[in-house]
């Protein structure tokens, strides 16, 4: 499965195993991710099995936040994308294309 640039940015933000909610991801990305699209991207990644989510269980929150965490499949997809880009760069650097 291919990853878009923004999907990759979301997965990279989630590396390290910490659960984050959408606004935290936008802030952590230094606004490379946009609040208007983060939840669409997260939904797409969840459909692909690359992230999983859970609702916050704090009863003090009027509207519970949804926390996201990268899955093992998401980590493997991210590593595969990085390996493919490194291989392409090596081919270009050697002048084989």
What is the chain's pLDDT, residue by residue, as a tens digit (97 residues)?
A: 689 999 999 999 999 888 999 999 999 888 789 999 999 999 999 999 999 999 988 778 788 889 999 999 999 999 998 888 888 888 888 876 6
Q: Hey, what are 45's tokens?
A: 């990644």
Instruction: State the pLDDT at residue 25.
Output: 94
Question: CATH number of the domain that 62 lies in?
Answer: 1.10.10.10
What span, in angstroms and rounded, lies between the C-alpha atoms of 32 and 34?
A: 7
- 79: containing domain: 5-94
Instruction: State the pLDDT at residue 2.
Output: 84
Cβ atoms within 10 Å, residue 74: 23
Q: How many domains does the chain have?
A: 1
Please list, in sequence order, all residues whose beta carbon lies within 8 angstroms of the beta carbon of residue 17, skipping any fewer than 6 positions away.
69, 70
E strand segments, the chain: 51-55, 66-70
């Amino acid at each position: 499965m291919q990853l878009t640039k923004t999907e990759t940015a979301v997965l990279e933000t989630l590396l390290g195993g910490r659960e984050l909610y959408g606004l935290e991801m936008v802030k952590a990305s230094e606004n490379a991710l946009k609040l208007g699209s983060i939840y669409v991207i997260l939904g797409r990644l969840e459909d692909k099995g690359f992230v999983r989510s859970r609702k916050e269980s704090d009863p003090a929150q009027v509207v519970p936040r949804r926390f996201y965490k990268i899955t093992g499949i998401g980590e493997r997809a991210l590593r595969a994308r990085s390996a493919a880009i490194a291989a392409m760069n090596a081919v270009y650097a050697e002048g084989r294309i």
